């Protein structure tokens, strides 16, 4: 397994981040998903090969434990909007200062800068804004929405996984971690 020995902390999120974590786990990484403590149980189809822990990040003890997990890991996979991790004191600047080899992967709708960085979005929004949605379907008819396969999974989760693997490869040469900013 190509990623055997790589430890990933995946912060719970919607489709793209769990998909990215599942890909990494499928190639041998140890993936620990950090869930919220007050979540209704659901069938998680993207939990394959992962372990999980529930932490209350509104409590200092939960934040401290997450910090320890992150600085002892190779990769942090973070699916939140701009500024959420910084408010917890767990942004890339803080974690990379404690673990300079860390790969800090941010997977968001619109990235960390620009007028949409703080906006919520969904697969259909990303497809429409990119112009791709208009290309789906029959000529002269309304476009078909392709579930969330294109933006969330292909443009988000898969692209982020590739960025993480490339950052891990580069780290073998430089010894340094980096920030991945994957947006859909």
> Residues with catalytic annotation?
122, 152
Residue 49 burial (10 A CB sphere; 0-12, 13-18, 19+) = middle
Note whether 1 and 28 are within 8 A (CB).
yes
CB-CB neighbours of 83 under 10 Å = 12
Note whether 74 and 102 are within 8 A (CB).
yes
Note whether 50 and 31 are within 8 A (CB).
yes
Note whether 174 and 124 are within 8 A (CB).
no
């Amino acid at each position: 397994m190509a990623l055997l020995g790589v430890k990933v902390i995946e912060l719970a999120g919607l489709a793209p981040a769990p998909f990215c974590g599942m890909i990494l786990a499928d190639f041998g990484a140890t993936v620990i998903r950090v869930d919220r403590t007050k979540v209704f149980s659901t069938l998680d189809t993207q939990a394959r090969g992962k372990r999980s822990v529930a932490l209350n990040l509104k409590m200092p003890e939960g934040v401290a434990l997450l910090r320890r997990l992150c600085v002892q890991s190779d990769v942090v996979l973070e699916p939140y909007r701009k500024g959420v991790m910084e408010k917890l004191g767990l942004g890339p600047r803080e974690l990379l200062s404690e673990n300079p080899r860390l790969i800090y992967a941010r997977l968001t709708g619109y990235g960390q800068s620009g007028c949409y960085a703080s906006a919520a979005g969904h697969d259909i929004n990303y497809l429409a804004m990119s112009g791709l949605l208009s290309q789906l379907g029959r000529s002269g008819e309304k476009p078909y929405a392709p579930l969330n396969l294109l933006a969330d999974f292909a443009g988000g989760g898969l692209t982020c996984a590739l960025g993480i693997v490339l950052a891990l490869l580069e780290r073998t040469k430089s010894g340094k971690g980096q920030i991945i900013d994957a947006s859909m």
